[in-house]
């Protein structure tokens, strides 16, 4: 799943934002909320994210972009990805809520 977010972060933002209406923040080791936000964007706008990858897999893009988008299109259609997508959102939101609570005085 992280490969998807890294790929989308380094491609032109206009492709992602024009299709989903929202961007994805950079994933860091210390900021778990970014992971939750990234999973949320993909889950809530799955079909639009899929469309963005299809657009990036088109002939208008360079070979590396088309290849990466093609691999991710196959991964998005896998049963395990869809199961983990449903699992990770509530888990990451709970982690974020816990971290936010622990940071309050």
Q: Higher-confidence residue: 27 or 33?
A: 33
How do residues 41-83 score in pLDDT, each as one tens digit? 888 888 888 888 888 888 777 787 788 888 889 999 999 999 9
Q: How many angstroms separate the CA atoms of 48 and 54, rounded?
A: 10
Classify burial at 5, counting beta carbons within 10 Å of its beta carbon; exposed 0-12, middle 13-18, buried 19 or more. buried
Number of domains making up the chain: 1
Give residue 14's domain range.
2-103
Cβ count within 10 A of residue 34: 17
Query: What CA–CA distance (Å, rounded) separates 68 from 61?
Result: 11
For residues 16 and 1, the model is more confident at 16
């Amino acid at each position: 799943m992280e490969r998807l977010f890294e790929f989308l972060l380094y491609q032109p933002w206009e492709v992602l934002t024009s299709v989903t209406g929202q961007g994805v923040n950079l994933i860091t080791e210390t900021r778990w909320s970014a992971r939750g936000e990234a999973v949320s964007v993909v889950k809530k706008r799955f079909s639009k994210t899929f469309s963005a990858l299809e657009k990036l897999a088109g002939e208008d893009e360079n070979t590396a972009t088309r290849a990466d988008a093609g691999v991710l299109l196959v991964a998005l259609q896998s049963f395990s990805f869809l199961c983990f997508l449903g699992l990770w959102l509530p888990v990451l939101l709970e982690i974020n809520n816990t971290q936010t609570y622990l940071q309050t005085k």
